[in-house]
Amino acid sequence: MTATENAPAQRGLAAQLLRFVAVGGVSAVVDFAVYHLILALEAPTWLARAISFVCGTTTAYFLNKRFTFGEAAGGRGRLAGFVLLYGTTFGIAVGVNALALYLLPDIAFKASIAWVISQGTATAINFVMLRWVVFRAR
């Protein structure tokens, strides 16, 4: 590897945050599209949110690993940390989505608004934990 290829690992917080937001945007599009596709198939919202979260999370992991935190190799420990983190945020995202659907009045785009609320909550938790736990400099 050249010094340029190692550069992402040496980036500061602002650069990592910018890349995280860009990767998050791509991952959110995947998540949101899958969520609405499954809802269009008349599946329950909890199932749609669960499957969409897994799809978006998988996208986010591989893109963040490579582009945000500059990790070309992972290892079992790093993967285990990721699985634990995303298992936790999975429960949070599905739970917050259900809570938002319960609390929001019957309005247009109710399911989309609930998704945005749950995604925002999970994203904030994920950045902090990915930066300081899963992909921390060793």
Give the pLDDT confidence of 7-61 residue by residue, as tens digits: 444 557 788 889 988 998 999 999 999 999 999 999 999 899 899 988 998 898 8
Which helix (H) or strand (E) covers residue 19, if one does?
helix 13-40
Taking all residues of the chain, what is their mean pLDDT, rounded to a whole number? 83
The answer to whether 55 and 26 have CB atoms below 8 angstroms apart is no
Map out the domains of the chain as residue ranges. 9-134
- Residue among 125, 124, 101 nearest 113 (CA): 101
Is pLDDT of 122 > 90? no
At a CB cut-off of 8 Å and minimum separation 6, what does 82 contact?
Answer: 61, 74, 130, 134
The answer to whether 70 and 8 have CB atoms below 8 angstroms apart is yes
